A and B are shown apart, each in its own frame.
Chain A
Amino acid sequence: MVKITYNAARCKGCHYCVNACPKKCITLSGDTNNAGYETVKFNETECVACGSCYTVCPDYAIVIEKED
């Protein structure tokens, strides 16, 4: 079970996470946050909690927790 906490208010829309995800479970949300940046959305069922999106995020918007 993977729990992704995404803080959309911190996101600056660089989309490094979309590029880095090996399972392609991060996609553009089509929505913008208050600062005007396009945010992303996550498919938690496909996620394997590899931490790639957390590693490349320059704005600390993603927290991943995995419990087996």
Chain B
Amino acid sequence: MAAKTFNIPTLMQGLPPHTACQGCGHGIAGRIIYEVIEEMGMSSNCVAFHDLACGANMLFAQKGNGFSGAHGRAIPTATGFKRTRPDMLVFSYAGDGATYSIGMQHTIHTALRNENITAIVVNNTNFGMTGGQMSPATLIGQKTTSSPKGRTAELNGNPIDITEVYSGMKIAYLARGSVDSVANINKTKAYIRKAFEKQMAGCGFSFVEIMAPCPTNWGMTALGSIKRMQDEVLKLYPVGEYIDGGAK
């Protein structure tokens, strides 16, 4: 048998430790994206469009092309770049606060136009870097710094499920992964690969949501946050492929 090696992608090697908190899901999400890019041979031909806040941590964890625009505007910035350079692999990387709250208009209209880009959203059910405020994806009953008694449907509305928002829209690909276990991480990697391949084939808008833990703002240990994901979060936001469309 040939030698088997598990090592991080070339674009991430030789850099200082990234600035995400202990047990943060961004580290795993960022790594699997660049593993897919390296496997596809696109390392020198890809551009990452990062959002601000926790999503930008991963911009400094890689040596490839990257750009960070205004908060919540990672998707339209990526759209503009892709229209001028359709040969390059273009993806946006943002959190749930930016995608479902600050930049919700872009999340909807980019899908309506079926832009040929990939949007990756890391959903940790709160605004992480600003101190753990409630986001549209916060679960009912979840305590955050802006909902200290827990979110209620009467006062704050129901949590957003992007698979329901996009249901019926003619986009190329929609999937939800998770970083809570080895099996789900490998599944998520396959979803990202499929989304990138659809983009390079010109099929249209592909969207991958990655559920991630936020131990710091959930007020838990790292292993406790993984347990909460499996017990509560993934029951409301199940992992799977939701839209698998063909060519334009």
Q: Which chain A residues have a beta carbon within 8 Å of chain B's beta carbons?
A: 9-10, 12-16, 19-20, 37, 49, 51-52, 54-60, 62-68
Contact = CB atoms under 8 A, between A and B. Distances in A.
A39 to B, nearest CB: 13
Contact of A60 (B4, B5, B24, B27): B27
A60 B21 CA distance: 13
Contacts of A62: 6
A67 B182 contact: no
Contacts of B4: 49, 64-66
A58 B185 contact: no
Interface string B1-31: 1011111100010000110111111111001
B182 A15 contact: no
A66 B5 CA distance: 6
A20 B226 CA distance: 11
A63 B223 contact: no
Contact of A19 (B17, B21, B223): B223
What's the dominant secondary structure at chain A's contact region? loop
A30 B25 CA distance: 25
Contacts of B17: 9-10, 12, 59-60
Given A58-B24, A58-B25, A16 B222 contact: yes
Given A10-B17, A14-B222, A59 B27 contact: yes
B28 A56 contact: yes
A65 B2 CA distance: 11
B181 interface: yes
Contact of A51 (B6, B18, B179): B6
Contacts of A12: 17, 21-23
B186 interface: yes
B181 A20 contact: yes
Contact of A59 (B1, B7, B18, B223): B18
A39 B31 CA distance: 21
Given A14-B223, A64-B6, 13 more contacts: A12-B21, A13-B22, A15-B222, A55-B185, A56-B28, A56-B181, A58-B24, A60-B8, A60-B12, A60-B27, A63-B6, A65-B5, A65-B6
A54 B35 CA distance: 12
A42 to B, nearest CB: 13
A39 B155 CA distance: 44
A37 B215 CA distance: 15
Closest 5 CB pairs of A and B: A58-B27, A14-B222, A14-B23, A54-B6, A64-B6
Contact of B182 (A14, A55, A65): A55
A22 to B, nearest CB: 9
A37 B20 CA distance: 14
